[in-house]
């Protein structure tokens, strides 16, 4: 298991030492409880992504780690230091915000040096650090400008530079790319990943964008209603979602779900009048006869082929997306999407036979919504 993680991290300097430890924290706004008894360990040099829909408490958790919100209960440790009641400036962190949060009255240079000036760092050291950060982020040309004269992408580079200059041990990102257009987002995503490769600092990154989460993370923590639903590598989260929520949230187009009943004697599940053979499913022995389940299958794990297990249905909609083509059909009234190669050619009302790659499917108990 550990080996698998290491290979998927792929960067240097990931040790087994914890950089940030969140211990049983709770947080509430007045009577509304946002986080309840949440714990999370983040390893040194790890890129941790907190992913979830809005209102799931991921930004609150980040603000608690940064010290911008006071916990109701629990402890935060950063670099073997209990920082629970320490000021944000004493936590060795740098933070990048969605709204950039550049000081509008200062030039880029002054923005970058603000933290160091507040600490009373010598002018020479400040200049060196600014030059280094500016080179790394390619913002040398912009140093004399005011934030209002920069584009969104440039502003976010400066905001990242501000965290770089402070020699932060831990970088916190609060949806840094959400205000940018799609093209810039992809560009900066690439640069953030490169930055992490080169610096190997611990990074905690909050986003609701699953593509960002999948591409950047060493590990993703999927959150909902202030609880961590699953904490694992992107691969594991995509292929073996722990519950129905994670399965539905990760992946675009999202996973297909069919309500079904397990028939133990025939080793298959029954969807209305159709039967699907699941004898190859890894945890089939954990299922009991007549158990109500939800059968989940990703669009790319459905094949159009005729065999003894295939189900016949009709093409109802075709969405060409360039690299892929998405074909929509339905089984017993439930819409099913199938991801095919871009070159494949299907038309409305074509009769097709589909079969499922059971090895790659996920089956959930319909009551507990947990993976079986």
Partner 1 sequence: MNINSNNFQPNGPRPKHLTIGRIGIYCFIFMCALFFLMPLYVMIVTSLKDMDEIRSGNLLYIPKVLSFYAWPKAWSEACTGFVCEGLKPGLINSIKITVPSVIVSVSLGAINGYALAFWRFKGAYFFFGLCLFGAFIPYQVMVYPLLKIESAIGIYSSLPGIILVHTIFGMPILTLIFRNFYASLPIDLFKAARIDGGNFIKIFFYVIIPMSTPITIVAVILQVTGIWNDFLLGLVFAGRDNQPMTVQLNNIVQVDYGVAEYNVDMAATILTSLVPLFVYFISGRWFVRGIAAGAIKG
Q: Is the dihedral of CA 154, 52, 46, 167 positive or negative?
A: positive
Span from 82-90, 248-256, 301-309, 336-344 in contact with partner 1 (CB under 8 A): 82-90
SS3 at position 164: helix
Binding of partner 1 by 77 (CB under 8 A): no
Read out DSSP for 293-360? EEEEE-GGGEEE--STT-EEEE--EEEE-SSEEEEEEEETTEEEEEEEETT----TT-EEEEEE-GGG
Span from 44-52, 62-70, 127-135, 233-241 in contact with partner 1 (CB under 8 A): 62-70
Specify the residue, 89 or 132, whose C-beta has the smaller distance to partner 1.
Answer: 89
Specify the residue, 146 or 261, whose C-beta has the smaller distance to partner 1.
Answer: 146
Specify the residue, 28 or 366, whose C-beta has the smaller distance to partner 1.
Answer: 28
Specify the residue, 22 or 163, whose C-beta has the smaller distance to partner 1.
Answer: 163
Binding of partner 1 by 99 (CB under 8 A): yes
Binding of partner 1 by 93 (CB under 8 A): yes
Place of tokens 């005011």: 146
Residue count, binding to partner 1 (CB under 8 A): 27
Beta strand pairing status for 202-207 and 170-174?
parallel
Contact set for partner 1, span 123-182 (CB under 8 A):
162, 166, 174
Binding of partner 1 by 114 (CB under 8 A): yes
Binding of partner 1 by 63 (CB under 8 A): yes
SS3 at position 281: coil
Rounded to whole angstroms, the Cα distance separating 154 from 152 reads: 5
Specify the residue, 102 or 336, whose C-beta has the smaller distance to partner 1.
Answer: 102
Asked if residue 20 lies in contact with residue 78, where contact means CB atoms within 8 angstroms, the answer is: yes
CB 160 to partner 1: min, Å: 12
Rounded to whole angstroms, the Cα distance separating 245 from 224 reads: 8
Span from 112-120, 126-134, 186-194, 272-280 in contact with partner 1 (CB under 8 A): 112-120
Binding of partner 1 by 185 (CB under 8 A): no
In sequence order, which residues have a C-beta less than 8 Å from that of residue 92 and are 6 or more positions away? 78, 79, 168, 169, 170
Angle between helices 152-165 and 182-199 (to 10 degrees): 20
Nearest to residue 126, comparing CAs of 110, 103, 141?
110
Cis previous bond, 253, omega within 30: yes
Q: What are residue 320's DSSP bridge partners? A: 325
Rounded to whole angstroms, the Cα distance separating 53 from 79 reads: 29
Binding of partner 1 by 105 (CB under 8 A): yes
CB 336 to partner 1: min, Å: 43
Span from 81-89, 219-227, 322-330, 341-349 in contact with partner 1 (CB under 8 A): 81-89
CB 23 to partner 1: min, Å: 22
CB 118 to partner 1: min, Å: 4
Rounded (10°) CA dihedral 62, 182, 197, 48 = 30
CB 115 to partner 1: min, Å: 4
Q: Determine the number of helices (DSSP H) and then strands (DSSP E) in the chain.
A: 9, 20
Binding of partner 1 by 255 (CB under 8 A): no
Binding of partner 1 by 101 (CB under 8 A): yes
Span from 50-58, 65-73, 279-287, 345-353 in contact with partner 1 (CB under 8 A): 65-73
Binding site residues, partner 1, CB under 8 A: 63, 66-68, 87-89, 93-95, 97-106, 114-115, 118-119, 162, 166, 174
């Amino acid at each position: 298991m550990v080996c698998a993680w290491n290979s998927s991290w792929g960067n240097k300097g990931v040790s087994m030492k914890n950089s940030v430890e969140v211990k049983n924290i709770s947080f509430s706004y007045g009577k509304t409880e946002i986080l309840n008894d949440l714990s999370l360990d983040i390893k040194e040099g790890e890129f941790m992504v907190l992913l979830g829909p809005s209102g799931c408490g991921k930004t609150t958790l980040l603000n608690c780690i940064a010290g911008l919100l006071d916990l109701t209960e629990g402890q935060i440790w950063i670099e073997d230091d209990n920082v629970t009641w320490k000021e944000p400036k004493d936590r060795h962190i740098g933070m990048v915000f969605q709204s950039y949060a550049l000081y509008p009255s200062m030039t880029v240079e002054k923005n970058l040096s603000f933290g160091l000036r507040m600490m009373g760092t010598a002018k020479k050291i400040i200049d060196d650090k600014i030059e280094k950060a500016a080179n790394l982020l390619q913002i040398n040309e912009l140093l004399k400008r005011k934030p209002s004269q920069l584009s969104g992408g440039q502003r976010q580079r400066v905001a990242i530079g501000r965290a770089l200059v402070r020699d932060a041990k831990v970088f916190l990102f609060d949806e840094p790319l959400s205000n940018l257009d799609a093209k810039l987002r992809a560009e900066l995503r690439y640069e953030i990943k490169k930055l992490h490769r080169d610096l190997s600092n611990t990074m905690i990154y909050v986003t609701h964008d699953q593509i960002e989460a999948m591409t950047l993370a060493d590990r993703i923590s999927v959150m909902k209603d202030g609880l961590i639903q699953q904490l694992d590598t992107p691969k594991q989260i995509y292929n073996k979602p722990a519950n129905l929520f994670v399965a539905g949230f990760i992946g675009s187009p999202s996973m297909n779900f069919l309500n079904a009943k397990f028939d133990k004697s025939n080793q298959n599940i029954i969807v209305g009048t159709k039967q699907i053979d699941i004898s190859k499913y890894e945890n089939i022995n954990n299922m009991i006869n007549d158990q109500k389940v939800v059968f989940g299958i990703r669009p790319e794990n459905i094949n159009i082929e005729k065999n003894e297990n295939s189900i016949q249905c009709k093409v109802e909609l075709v969405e060409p997306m360039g690299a892929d083509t998405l074909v929509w059909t339905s089984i017993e009234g439930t819409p099913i999407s199938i991801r095919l190669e871009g070159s494949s050619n299907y038309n409305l009302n074509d009769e097709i036979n589909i079969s499922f790659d059971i090895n790659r499917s996920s089956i959930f108990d319909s009551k507990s919504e947990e993976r079986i």
